[in-house]
Chain A
Amino acid sequence: MSTSLFGNYEIDPKIFDEAFSPHKKQRIQYEKLFEELKNYSFTDINDLNEYARRSFINQGITFNVYSDQDTGIERIFPFDIFPRIIPQQEWQQIEKGVLQRNMAINLFLKDIYNEKKILKDKVFPTDLLFSCEFYNKHMLNFIPNGEIYTHVCGTDLIKHSDGEYYVLEDNARCPSGVSYVMSNRDTMKKIFSHVFSRHQVQSVHEYPDQLLATMQSVAPVGVDDPVCVLLTPGVYNSAYYEHAFLALNMGIQLVEGRDLFVDKNFVYMKTIYGPKRVDVIYRRVDDDFIDPLVFRPDSRLGVAGLMSAYRDGNVTLMNAPGTGAADDKAVYTYLPDIIKYYLGEEPIIKNVQTFRCEKDDELKYVLENIEKLVIKPVDQSGGYGILIGSNSTKLERENMKASIKNDRRKYIAQPIMSLSVHPTYIDETSKYEQRHIDLRAFTLMGNDRQYVLKGGLTRVALSRGNLMVNSSQGGGSKDTWVLG
């Protein structure tokens, strides 16, 4: 190694390293960056990381962590300045792959809430669909404006030791994280400007414009200049920073439920000039809370009457309610079939092999091989409730087995995928070490328009060997460069 920064970088040849070959040869897309880093010492890197940290605090970029004991601890999202670089060709495959998935997911949602052909053709099991917690009868026999359900989707991808990308899950409800992509980039440009300027990196800053254009494209029929708003649950939500960030950057109002009301099936925003009609709502409030007349009557976060206004076509909600039926982890296992059924195509990005505990033979396999598997509840996100067989105690495994047997529909299992690793600067050891990463790609679907954010969010597991990259599990992030 020419640069001293990586002289003591240790490589585990069994895992795919994004920046180095197993023989510690720099991968081609990183060569220029390594060349630049020759002039840096560990002290420089330490300083830069510290600047980055301060910059995040000053911008107020924080998130809350939920767990059993505490409610709402505010944290900054740990950031590592060494960027992840994705070559253009590789990115094009990702982009095609996530678009293909999202098109299929939209057709699936339209079908399951209307004709239900995929059930009648026995491609997708009826019982599985109707037992989905997020299958929403209030979406039945109704098609949203523009026939779009998942306007914003976050697809979580990993690269396995075979060097191929796999989809880990689709986040079709209210995926978050996109603000970090833009904030990470801002920070990188500020503190690493000359390195950045010597690479041709695809921009991420058009995302708010693309999101606004997506909103406008699905406005109710006959509305030329739609009023768009972002509906947040409020300052105590873990992603409030993101809600504020997106509203600000789109130039639209950030509202809470109490700022809106429904009159005669039209939605209005209270303003100092009187009520103003609202046409499109990017809602970051969960289905259960959006309308107390229809869903949870105790919700103070929603708007009474919103669902009937929506079903009348007078307002567009994005994402549509009931999209959770498509990101149920048991439904995920059918995504390759769903793609073939609606698009007649082979999936461009693979699914991770998944065992459904509700099937007898698969349950047997899971119970016998639990140390080799990751067990996930089908209805939770953010890494909550997950058991990684190899990193668990016997007691934890036995408890999990009991939970599975108690509610088989609730659990799926996957082989422990070896997530790729990336050089990441570690404070405690003052050197670069391999850390596992994944990638959340953000896709926007509007009326006759689609967009994939070039880069997405690279999440980093911050302790050695840890496979959990979720921010709520103490993960960090990196800027993600797609080369142009």
Chain B
Amino acid sequence: MEYKISYHSHNQYFNTVKDGIFEFLVLPENNEDQLVSTWKIKNSLLEEPFYYFNIFGFRVCRIKASKPFSELSLEMKVKVQKNTRGITNGLLWDTQKCHDLLQDDIFKIDQHLFLQTTPFTSLSETNHHLFPSLQADQHPYKYLSHLNTTIHQFFTYTPNITDVHTKVNDLIELKKGVCQDYAHLMIAIARLNQIPARYVSGFLNQGKGYLGAAKMHAWLECYVPGAGWIGFDPTNHLKTDENYIKVAHGCDYKDCAPIKGVIKTNGKQITDHEVVVHAQ
């Protein structure tokens, strides 16, 4: 399948910004299942973008304003070829072998970033019992599928109740949120059960009626022994497939924020973005 994706972000400032530097993490990555064939990024300041790879290996676009401004928009147009990899091989390893790997010390050291809690994903002990835990005779893939359902059912999808700073403990009472919150909570539980889990940001096929498709979406990937990293989308109660175009992953939202900026200004600002994904 081929996708044409356009991402458009728009920042408006009521007072002039004297100094500004922005970073965008919006370009889809190349991996086994997807290939970026062409891409183009334009910005309204007409600054020459600078690209570098972050600590997880994802391409960041940095725009540094060389003169004062009160508006910045950035447009990315990208074409991505996407194919689907079956996940049946995830079940090739028997349950015991999976558990042995998850308990292996060297494995835990190598995966430590995705096993540690972070400020976003730290769930207090009193809330642990609310979610199922991995049983000794349970295949991790089956467990994660079950957890995906649990998390999906736990929430009522509700925009504008939470924000980018919301932590998992706040979600327990709210039971409402958006994709970022679903992802953080499932990451927290997977990690509690010693399954490496990472936060993923990306785009969704807009022709399917999925929740969160109008903007950049968030889901997670868990490490299933024998199968590798498998994507789960608790918001839509799905496993990722050719309808998911991945941009980046990290420990939590902070590593994947699509836009970051350091600016010198005071007063109000409005930030928004639009996403259009055409499947061909």
Interface of A toward B, CB cutoff 8 Å? 116, 119-120, 122, 126, 130, 137-138, 140-141, 261-265, 292-293, 297, 304-305, 308, 311-312
C-alpha gap A130/B116 in the complex (Å): 8
Residues of chain B contacted by A140 (CB below 8 angstroms): 55, 113
Given contact pairs A120-B105, A293-B23, A297-B262, A126 touches B112 in the complex (Cβ within 8 A): yes
C-alpha gap A265/B250 in the complex (Å): 22
Q: Which residue of B lies closest to A138 (CB)?
A: B55
C-alpha gap A297/B60 in the complex (Å): 17
Q: Is the CB of A126 within 8 A of B105?
A: yes
Q: Which residue of A lies closest to B113 (CB)?
A: A137
- Which among A120, A304, A311 is the interface contact of B106 at CB below 8 angstroms? A120
Further pairs besides A265-B50, A293-B262, A297-B260: 5, Cβ < 8 Å: A120-B106, A263-B64, A293-B260, A305-B64, A312-B52
Q: Is the CB of A119 within 8 A of B109?
A: yes
Asked if B277 lies at the interface with its beta carbon under 8 angstroms from chain A, I say no
Q: Is the CB of B105 within 8 A of A137?
A: no
C-alpha gap A292/B263 in the complex (Å): 10
List 13 A-B residue pairs with CB atoms under 8 Å apart, sorted by A's residue number.
A116-B109, A120-B105, A126-B108, A126-B112, A130-B116, A137-B251, A138-B55, A261-B64, A262-B64, A264-B50, A293-B21, A293-B262, A305-B62
A443 vs chain B, min Cβ distance (A) = 29
Query: Interface code B114-155, partner A: CB below 8 Å = 1, 0 otherwise?
Result: 001000000000000000000000000000000000000000
Query: Interface code B170-188, partner A: CB below 8 Å = 1, 0 otherwise?
Result: 0000000000000000000
Residues of chain B contacted by A130 (CB below 8 angstroms): 112, 116
Residues of chain B contacted by A138 (CB below 8 angstroms): 55
Residues of chain A contacted by B260 (CB below 8 angstroms): 293, 297
Query: Interface code B187-222, partner A: CB below 8 Å = 1, 0 otherwise?
Result: 000000000000000000000000000000000000
Residues of chain A contacted by B23 (CB below 8 angstroms): 293
Q: Which residue of A lies closest to B250 (CB)?
A: A137
Q: Which residue of A lies closest to B115 (CB)?
A: A130
Residues of chain A contacted by B108 (CB below 8 angstroms): 126
Residues of chain B contacted by A116 (CB below 8 angstroms): 109
Residues of chain A contacted by B109 (CB below 8 angstroms): 116, 119-120, 126
Residues of chain A contacted by B251 (CB below 8 angstroms): 137
Q: Is the CB of A304 within 8 A of B52?
A: no
Q: Which residue of A lies closest to B255 (CB)?
A: A137
Instruction: Count residues on chain B whose CB falls below 8 Å from chain A CBs.
Output: 19
Residues of chain A contacted by B105 (CB below 8 angstroms): 120, 122, 126
C-alpha gap A138/B60 in the complex (Å): 15
Residues of chain B contacted by A262 (CB below 8 angstroms): 21, 64
Q: Is the CB of B262 within 8 A of A304?
A: yes
Q: Which residue of B lies closest to A292 (CB)?
A: B262
Residues of chain B contacted by A308 (CB below 8 angstroms): 52, 54, 60
Pairs of residues from A and B, 6 with the lowest C-beta to C-beta distance, nearest first: A304-B262, A304-B21, A292-B262, A264-B50, A119-B109, A308-B52
C-alpha gap A261/B109 in the complex (Å): 36
C-alpha gap A292/B260 in the complex (Å): 10
Query: Interface code B238-257, partner A: CB below 8 Å = 1, 0 otherwise?
Result: 00000000000001000000
Q: Which residue of A lies closest to B251 (CB)?
A: A137
C-alpha gap A304/B19 in the complex (Å): 11
C-alpha gap A168/B64 in the complex (Å): 46
C-alpha gap A116/B110 in the complex (Å): 9
Q: Is the CB of B52 within 8 A of A141?
A: no
C-alpha gap A30/B226 in the complex (Å): 71
B236 vs chain A, min Cβ distance (A) = 30
Q: Which residue of B lies closest to A263 (CB)?
A: B64
C-alpha gap A311/B262 in the complex (Å): 20
Q: Is the CB of A311 within 8 A of B55?
A: yes
Residues of chain B contacted by A265 (CB below 8 angstroms): 50, 52
Residues of chain A contacted by B54 (CB below 8 angstroms): 308
Q: Which residue of A lies closest to B118 (CB)?
A: A137
Residues of chain B contacted by A264 (CB below 8 angstroms): 50
C-alpha gap A261/B262 in the complex (Å): 12
Residues of chain A contacted by B113 (CB below 8 angstroms): 137, 140
Q: Which residue of A lies closest to B116 (CB)?
A: A130
Residues of chain B contacted by A120 (CB below 8 angstroms): 105-106, 109
C-alpha gap A265/B49 in the complex (Å): 12
C-alpha gap A346/B209 in the complex (Å): 66
